[in-house]
Amino acid sequence: MSQTVKVLIPSALRPQTDNQATLELPGQSIAEVLAALTAKFPELGKRLFKTENELNRFINVYVNDEDIRFIDNLNTPVKAGDEVSIVPAIAGG
């Protein structure tokens, strides 16, 4: 049985996930989890990725509250029970 992680979808992207706010997806790295996500919802993939291996720069991905850019970008490993959040870019205050 492959491990799954919880993926949180922001409201701006829920139209592309049949309005589901959380999904359980398989993968051992962020790249694999997002590949599973875009295989299931191709329209979402077009919004998440600028090119095949490059995330849209206005999308941030976190694993358990840590930005993947501080870990290993798309190669960031994930394990069962991890929480992956997809969040639009941070604006100032």
| Contact present, 44 and 61 (Cβ < 8 Å) | no
Distance CA 48, CA 32 (A): 14
Taking CB under 8 A as the binding criterion, the range among 23-31, 32-40, 55-63, 75-83 that sits at the site for other proteins is 55-63
Tell me, by CB under 8 A, how many residues bind other proteins: 22
Min dist CB 1 to other proteins, Å, is: 31
Min dist CB 59 to other proteins, Å, is: 6
SS3 of residue 67 by DSSP: strand
Class of residue 3 by CB neighbours under 10 A (exposed 0-12, middle 13-18, buried 19+): middle
What single letter denotes the amino acid at residue 82?
A: D
Measured from the CB atom, the residue of 10 and 77 that comes closer to other proteins is: 10
Residue ranges that bind other proteins, judged by CB under 8 A: 10-12, 47, 56-60, 62, 65, 67, 69-70, 85, 87-93
